[in-house]
Chain A
Amino acid sequence: MSTTYVCGCDVGSTYGKAVIMDLNGKIVGSSIVRSKIDPEETSKLAIAEATKGIDGLSMNDFAYLVGTGYGRNRVPFANENISEISCHAMGVHITNPAIKTIVDIGGQDLKGITIDENGSVKHFAMNDKCAAGTGRFFEGMARAFEVDLQEFSDMSLKAKEILPITSQCSVFAETEVISMVAQKKNPNDIAAGIQASVAKRCFTMLKSAGIEREVTMTGGCAKNKGLKNALEKILKFEITELSTDPQLMGALGACEFARKKALVAKAG
């Protein structure tokens, strides 16, 4: 077993992420891979990808391994699993301790999280069964416009007006968008309406969690510039961008927890 490296693996519903650190907290490897149907397979893929370039390191060879995300209890060789809510809080805290509130938008869920001065969760709010306003929702919307996610996220930035979307339901919203496209409405304006409706949903989640400045976004949808822009308009202040890929925050937090556990074990 390596006494040098620790790993955090975040098995999400659409992407698997892994971060590897040394015991000093330096990130030495990371990965983002598309999720497979089997969470175990996803975690193996993510960890294998993150270990590339680190000589002689394999997935059963960490000083400590923490699993997180919806598939957290299916990560092979994990020493323990920790909820993604705690992990995102910790990941953001070690990246930028000034952040007090996170909006985490993953593939299937949306969370508002407030954190204390130690990186622990103070409060959180999470969407219920509905996937509205999550990565899956955006994938459906991009599909309706026949563009990829990156293109979709930039569309609203070119909008001249915001065409409101009445439905938050992924299925009904897609139908509504198709109908608007058929009416020859400007796609950029429709996209702006979609981003605005999701931003409102994020806002209610942030309010439920007890929003405090500074605020950041994590999860795959944090890369959606149109959404960030729409949320900033509602919040009336800027959202702080992170120096590390926001999609890695869950895995990074898990890795930090793993590092602390390994240090405690090492100290005896």
Chain B
Amino acid sequence: MEKIKELAFFEKLLNTPQNSLVDKAVKEGRIPIAYNCYTAPEALLSVGKAFPVRLRAPQTTSTELATFYMSPFTCSYSRSILEAALDDQYEFIQGMVFAACCVQIQRTAHNYKLQKLKGDEKFVHYLIDVPRKEFDAYVPALVADLKKLAGLMETTYGLDMSEENIRKAIHEQNEFNKLLKEISDFRKLDKPKITGSEWHMVYTACKTAPKDMLVEPLKKLKTALEKREGFEAKARLMVMGSICDNPAYIELIESQGCLVVADRFCYGSLPGMEMIPEEGDVFTNLALFYLESNECPRMMEKMEFRAERAENYLEEYKADGIIFETLKFCDVWGYEKLKTLKILEDKGIPCVRIEREYALSGEGQMKTRVQAFIESIQNKQLTEKLAK
């Protein structure tokens, strides 16, 4: 099928952290703030002149310096981010907000502070202590944390972090997510109009630049996709697991004849396009929203909920099976592999486990695994048809 030209715009944004839109925004006097996780509230980082840039390391293939500072037994994402920063790829940012999603990324945050910040800069370096349990008593603590971050943004950048402005940012994020969701829904069709790698490219690009600059390109893309014929595939798959911000991985999977219709991984869109309540106290809304909506395996006591959500995604996106990928040394998804994935496997859902590194490598073996997985799904479907 033809490659539509509207996608090229998003593709170019992924080549380097300091892409053309970031450059333009910085020249206009806007404030780029890097962040690492779904639970670091994008809306709060989008107030006034600020805009969020989710951390990626697209140009990093080896991590010598970061490995020295962080040890080889940390995941390659956390090391790659530090390496990219040490290679001066994030010199343009004026703030770094981390959600304490895992211990390893916290080491990245600490090392960034030690290696890159001199102490006298107008730079917000903040670690949000997102609770690991969804428990009423934790909400005020997270609210206080978010208020502290807002206060720092106000004093450091001179931004007006009033309730009114934060509510406006939340509203704009909701509107943006509505548009994204309309494009995402093309994946649910019997013949999806967008491939998994194309979607991943668009969604990832939307995390790397000011959202207001992406609205028009997204609208053009949506119009082009509406006219497009859908894709057929040998199998429809959901990818689940550790952080993936490289569409080449999804392309590699799809090169074996399947379509990735659902992306339940860190940096994926499930969850990622939900509406944040706009009425009521903005900080409480943000705290509750991120505590309740996140499906991260770092959250304790929610395994059954996550397995149920994964099953719902399979049904909603008509996926035939799950590729469960984990980064080497990823603690949280490693735990999920033993627990939640087991629940799904025991229900008879076809699953394959793949361990990988952040930078694209081991392509041949990955292709073999995916191909064998698709063949086993096809054989299972054939056997079921014959039995009927």
Query: Quick one: which of B341-388 are within 8 Å of A by CB?
Result: 352-353, 355-356, 361-362, 364-365, 368-369, 371-372, 375-376, 379-380, 383
What residue in chain A is nearest B386 (Cβ atoms)? A118
Q: Which residues of B contact A85 (CB under 8 A)?
A: 368-369, 372, 375
From A124-132, A151-159, A175-183, give the one contacting chain B.
A124-132
A124:B372 contact, CB within 8 angstroms: yes
| Known pairs A109-B365, A126-B365; A86 contacts B383 (CB<8 A) | no
| Known pairs A118-B383, A120-B383, A128-B355; A86 contacts B365 (CB<8 A) | no
The answer to the question of A256 belonging to the interface, with a C-beta cut-off of 8 Å to chain B, is no
The answer to the question of A14 belonging to the interface, with a C-beta cut-off of 8 Å to chain B, is no
Q: How far is the CB of B212 from chain A (nearest CB, A)?
A: 42
Q: Which residues of A contact B353 (CB under 8 A)?
A: 125
| Known pairs A70-B364, A118-B383, A120-B383; A126 contacts B376 (CB<8 A) | no
The answer to the question of A174 belonging to the interface, with a C-beta cut-off of 8 Å to chain B, is no
Q: Which residues of A contact B352 (CB under 8 A)?
A: 124
Q: Which residues of A contact B371 (CB under 8 A)?
A: 82-83
Q: Which residues of A contact B368 (CB under 8 A)?
A: 70, 83-85, 126
| Known pairs A83-B372, A126-B368, A126-B369; A121 contacts B362 (CB<8 A) | no
A122:B376 contact, CB within 8 angstroms: yes
Q: Which residues of B contact A126 (CB under 8 A)?
A: 365, 368-369
Rounded to whole angstroms, the CA-CA distance of A127 and B369 in the bound complex is: 11
Rounded to whole angstroms, the CA-CA distance of A124 and B352 in the bound complex is: 8
- Which of A83, A121, A122, A125 gathers most chain B CB within 10 Å? A83
Query: What is the interface size of chain A, counting residues whose CB is below 8 A from a CB of the partner?
Result: 17
Query: What is the interface size of chain B, counting residues whose CB is below 8 A from a CB of the partner?
Result: 18
Mask, A91-129, CB within 8 Å of B = 1, is: 000000000000000000100000000101110111111
A86:B362 contact, CB within 8 angstroms: no
Q: Which residues of A contact B356 (CB under 8 A)?
A: 128
B376:A121 contact, CB within 8 angstroms: yes
B365:A120 contact, CB within 8 angstroms: no
Rounded to whole angstroms, the CA-CA distance of A52 and B356 in the bound complex is: 43
Rounded to whole angstroms, the CA-CA distance of A227 and B275 in the bound complex is: 58
A128:B365 contact, CB within 8 angstroms: yes
A129:B372 contact, CB within 8 angstroms: no
Q: How far is the CB of B186 from chain A (nearest CB, A)?
A: 30
Q: Which residues of A contact B361 (CB under 8 A)?
A: 129
What residue in chain B is nearest A117 (Cβ atoms)? B383
Q: Which residues of B contact A129 (CB under 8 A)?
A: 361-362, 365
Q: How far is the CB of A258 from chain B (nearest CB, A)?
A: 15
Query: Quick one: which of A125-142 are within 8 Å of B by CB?
Result: 125-129
Q: How far is the CB of A176 from chain B (nearest CB, A)?
A: 20
Q: How far is the CB of B381 from chain A (nearest CB, A)?
A: 11
Query: Quick one: which of B286-341 are within 8 Å of A by CB?
Result: 328
Q: Which residues of B contact A127 (CB under 8 A)?
A: 365
Rounded to whole angstroms, the CA-CA distance of A58 and B361 in the bound complex is: 38
Q: Which residues of B contact A128 (CB under 8 A)?
A: 328, 355-356, 362, 365
* New contact pairs (18) apart from A83-B368, A84-B368, A120-B380, CB-CB < 8 Å: A70-B364, A70-B368, A82-B371, A82-B375, A84-B372, A85-B372, A85-B375, A86-B375, A118-B379, A121-B379, A124-B352, A126-B365, A126-B369, A128-B328, A128-B356, A128-B365, A129-B361, A129-B365
B-binding residues in A (CB < 8 A): 70, 82-86, 109, 118, 120-122, 124-129
| Leading 8 A-B pairs by shortest Cβ distance | A85-B372, A120-B379, A83-B372, A83-B371, A121-B376, A86-B375, A129-B362, A83-B368
A–B complex contacts, Cβ < 8 Å, 13 sampled:
A82-B375, A83-B375, A85-B372, A85-B375, A118-B383, A120-B376, A120-B380, A120-B383, A121-B375, A124-B369, A126-B369, A127-B365, A128-B328
